[in-house]
Chain A
Amino acid sequence: MAGTSSRKSGSAGTPTPSSTETDLVKEAEATRASAGYHLIGKRTPLIDAALKVTGRAEYTDDIKRPGMLVGRLLKSVHPHARIRSIDVEEARRHPGVAAVLTGDRYPTPFGVLPMTHDETALAVGRVRFLGEHVAAVAAVDEETCERAFELIHVEYEPLPVYDDPKVSREPVPVKIHDRALRDTNLQKEVFQHFGDVPKALEGASQKVKLSGKYLGVSHGFTEPHCTIAEHTPDGRLTVWSATQVPHYLHRSLSEVLGMPMHRIRVVKPEVGGGFGGKSDPFPHEIACAALAIETGRPVKVLFDREDVFYLNHGRHPTQNDVTVGVDADGKFLAMDIDALIDGGAWSSFGVVTTYYNGVLAMGPYRFDNFRYHGARAYTNHPPSGAMRAHGGTNMRYTVESVVDEIAARMSFDPIELRLQNFLPPNFKTINEFRITSNSVRQCILAARDRSGWEEKYRKLPYGRGIGVACGFYISGSNSPIHFTPVFPQCTVHLKADMDAGVTIHCGAADIGQGSKTVLAQVVAEVLGIRMDRCRVAAVDSDTAPVDLGSYSSRVTFMMGNAAKAAAENLKVPLLQAASELLEVPPDRLEASEERIHVKERPSQGVPFHEALHKAMETKGALVASGAYSTKPLGGTFKGAKAGTAPAYSFSAYVAQVDVDPETGFVHVENVWAAFDCGRPLNPLAVEGQIEGSIHMGLGQLLSEGLSYRGARLMNPSLLDYKILTPMQMPKVECLLVGEDDPEGPFGAKEAGEGPLVAALPAVGNAIYDAIGVRLMDLPITPDKVLRALEEQRKKGGAVKPPAPTRPSKRTPTHGGR
């Protein structure tokens, strides 16, 4: 790869596997190459990259409509208050103001999950967080909107402010939402118990409990939210929006505005990053549409960065306790988890979040006893929501820290301890997840071998350390959010016409992860044509069949399968036409290298375009459709569907750090990221997902955190909310060792979210190896490191933890399972 040779190797140096060592990465690559695909698995630049590097890619804010007005939203100045009155008459009369709307106009509640609709387009009678929108203004320009805001008179009656989820768990005098549980402010509570955890823990020879504390985290995408809406005289509404979920937006617009879906058109232009932060239908999108209907003119609502932070929907502030009991040989017996998460003012994906914080905790390990109590509290903080590796990140840090602590206390090598406890492939977990492909063993062995683990673990000088952690994540949520009507998770339509190009229509939202490129790769692979014949049409609900959205790492798996099916269907008439031209039965033909030819005699064939034109003689343009639906999975107990997925990704990361005991700064030097995404369809993009995930994970670990004083967010800017710069990124080595998944398209699984989860605990465990302190309060800023070192000195001196004494055997790279 370009650049690698001159890349700084870091003071640690990077050991390469010795020549006698088997290289699992090369082996996996060789196995995959033997399948002989011409595009699948090739490092493929994104098909829209040329537009992006020249500034030609069109994002929502780049769109101009004739006569477009500026829409702005007035923010609440109280975190919790009744709205006694809103007087907008003066603002309405102000020159240049086209419309002023308040919450009573479209009061229908909505939300991404159908069972927890508790948001409204604009506040109705009550505000629940600082920054909630109380009025919407459309005017000729921004200054006029600002002036109109001064002329809107809102009378608030402050209510008690809840900024601590622990308080929300107790009986409260004022409920933030009527739908909160009992007399508390809890939004959702989950209890699950499999096996007998108390009994198993009683019989354990070692029990380790750690408590983790996590600040909220922002997605930090670079493109602020933006929506344009236009209501035309034909009675149709068009909404362009920076969204990951065009279909859920479509539904919400219809529900709240009372307009049938077929009269609404949702268009997703390029989206400047999402990471879950654009995966809810949002109030501002509906308010923008409402302004367009009211004025009859196009309206644009564009957020500034502070608005983005206040809309939040980022990772939940969390406190969790994880207890694991093991027997004398290090076999995991039971896991017990208690989690309290701060949901902020709305439900958003909260039901899912509450489940995920527990149900995704066991994998990649086998447990026969598991208990989980999770609660999500409403507070008067800006709403939390889904963020990359949703529900799987904070809990994962605590779990992997517990595993590391068990290894330390029982004197195991943490890799050997993990190897003893992995789930096997093709297995049903205690909570009835169906595990199919699973290369976690190859992951941890590859990371071990490449990192030089054995020469480093507990052997580097004080202040330097190495750590390991594993990960597990869903490859697409098996259950669609809406149960009725029943329809596929994803549908792809193809059209091949006279120009011998193939147009791909699909509602899947490319938000930079490269799903358009995967669509073109899959279709071109099946049809045996060059990728440049394939063009991916814009996501436009008028023409693109529904895909449920870019969330839960579902797109490659589900869209990939739908695209493959569509291309197989398109191939049928092409083979038929070629069969007529060649006078050979279609089942003896195949498509490759831009031709349709006899399988065993490639010289006997016709070019793709000739077969296409022959097929079109009577039919005209060829069209084909393909769809992917999930099969029923999971048990029948309450919440059994949460966390079920048609496949799971696995990972094992080793990180190496340099901690400065004088300043408390943690410098992450290297991350060896072994990831099982099945067959990587586009390794270039998969690496990009892994590297970006590590960046995001290390940000949360070391410097990022939404900091509140009471209900007020103290750092709503990219100056005070500290995202890592290029200077802080470690050297990353991606090790793709997955085997083909039996149900994924060409054997692929997800790589969008799973790559994040192991990054944080691998570094946390490396810090422990470096300085012997376990830091469980994120982010791990230098002050926290120094305080921990101070404590450690008081207790008897700063030293590295002792080296493991057992087991003496080392698992060979190729060993039986």
Chain B
Amino acid sequence: MPKKVPVRLRVNGEEHELHLPPQRILLDVLREELNLTGTKRGCDLGTCGCCTILVDGEPRLSCLMLAKLAEGHQLTTVEGISPAGALHPVQKAFIDLGATQCGFCTPGFIVTAVAFLRDHPGATRDEISRALSGNLCRCTGYVKILDAVEAAARTLAPAQER
């Protein structure tokens, strides 16, 4: 067994002090050590987008990141999107417009869309489609996902940009 090293992670605003083998992958640590199972494992190879989290607010694939290298960064998982239970407009739109079916890809889409709309309020359907193209969904054909993110974009955009 390789020697464990101290790893300090800041996830959803909470500090965690862990002792981990240095090769531990961030996705494994989130799911297995921190019980943040909302982040999903779909491929382990950076191909499906199910494990997307926000690192300093930017979408990143947690299956391709060593936990040790996440030190010093602000990590946000789907659990951190609506911490007090108040749904984010993206989550609300996903529910209302049928954008989640099996739900396994959903957390990855949610965090990607939340980050994208933060920087691009009022984005068009084409822009949203491009921004979400790193996330695979096999149930919805993306139609209702795009409907939902587009609807959330309208909710979030300042009035003059509508």
Interface residues of A (CB under 8 A from B): 1-4, 6-8, 43, 45-46, 48-59, 61-62, 64, 143, 219-224, 270-275, 302, 304-305, 511-514, 684-685, 687-688, 691-696, 717-719, 723, 725-727, 729, 732
Q: Closest approach, in angstroms, between the C-beta of B95 and any C-beta of chain A?
A: 4
Interface residues of B in 84-138 (CB under 8 A from A): 87, 91, 93-98, 100-107, 110, 124-126, 128-130, 132-134, 136-138
Contact of A55 with B107 at beta-carbon distance under 8 Å, contacts A50-B87, A273-B102 already known: yes
- Apart from the given pairs A222-B137, A512-B102, 7 other A-B contacts in the complex at a CB distance below 8 Å: A3-B125, A48-B103, A54-B38, A304-B43, A685-B98, A695-B140, A729-B141
Q: How far is the CA of A43 from the CA of B98 in the complex (A)?
A: 9
Interface residues on B, range: 35 or more
Residue of B nearest to A272 (CB): B104
**Cβ of B74 < 8 Å from any Cβ of A?**
no
Q: Are A270 and B101 in contact (CB under 8 A)?
A: no
The CB with the most chain A CB atoms within 10 A, among B81, B101, B125, B137, is that of: B101
In the complex, which of the residues A8, A275, A691, A723 contacts B143, with contact meaning CB atoms closer than 8 Å? A691
Quick one: closest A residue to B43, CB to CB?
A305
Q: How far is the CB of A368 from chain B (nearest CB, A)?
A: 38
Stretch among B3-11, B54-62, B64-72, B145-153 lining the A interface: B145-153
Q: Which of B40, B41, B91, B147 contacts A54 (CB 8 A)?
A: B91
Whole-angstrom distance between the Cβ of B124 and the nearest chain A Cβ? 7
Of A52, A274, A514, A691, the contact of B144 (CB 8 Å cutoff): A691
Q: Are A54 and B150 in contact (CB under 8 A)?
A: no
B129 contacts across to A, CB distance below 8 A? 726-727, 729
What are the residues of chain B within 8 A of A513 when measuring CB–CB? 101
Residues of B within 8 A of A1 (CB): 97, 147
Nearest CB of chain B from residue A705's CB, rounded to whole Å: 16
CB-CB < 8 A to B26: which residues of A?
A: none
A52-B138 in contact given A224-B41, A305-B43, A685-B98 (Cβ < 8 Å): no
Q: Which A residue sits closest to B102, measured CB to CB?
A: A512
Most buried by B among A45, A54, A688, A729: A54
A-B contact pairs, 29 of them (CB 8 A): A6-B125, A8-B126, A49-B94, A50-B87, A52-B100, A53-B100, A53-B103, A53-B110, A54-B78, A54-B87, A55-B36, A55-B37, A62-B31, A222-B40, A272-B105, A305-B44, A687-B98, A688-B139, A691-B141, A693-B141, A695-B138, A695-B141, A718-B45, A718-B47, A725-B142, A726-B132, A726-B142, A729-B141, A732-B141
In order of increasing CB-CB distance, the 7 nearest A-B pairs are A55-B38, A512-B102, A272-B104, A52-B103, A695-B141, A3-B147, A691-B141
CB-CB under 8 A from A3, the residues of chain B are: 97, 125, 146-148, 150-151
Given contact pairs A56-B38, A512-B139, A727 touches B97 in the complex (Cβ within 8 A) = no
List B contacts of A304 (CB < 8 A): 43-44
A143 vs B137: C-alpha distance in the bound complex, in angstroms?
31
Indicate if the CB atoms of A45 and B102 lie closer than 8 Å. no
Chain A residues with CB below 8 A from B134, complex form = 725
In the bound complex, residues from chain B placing their C-beta under 8 Å from that of A727 are 129-130, 133
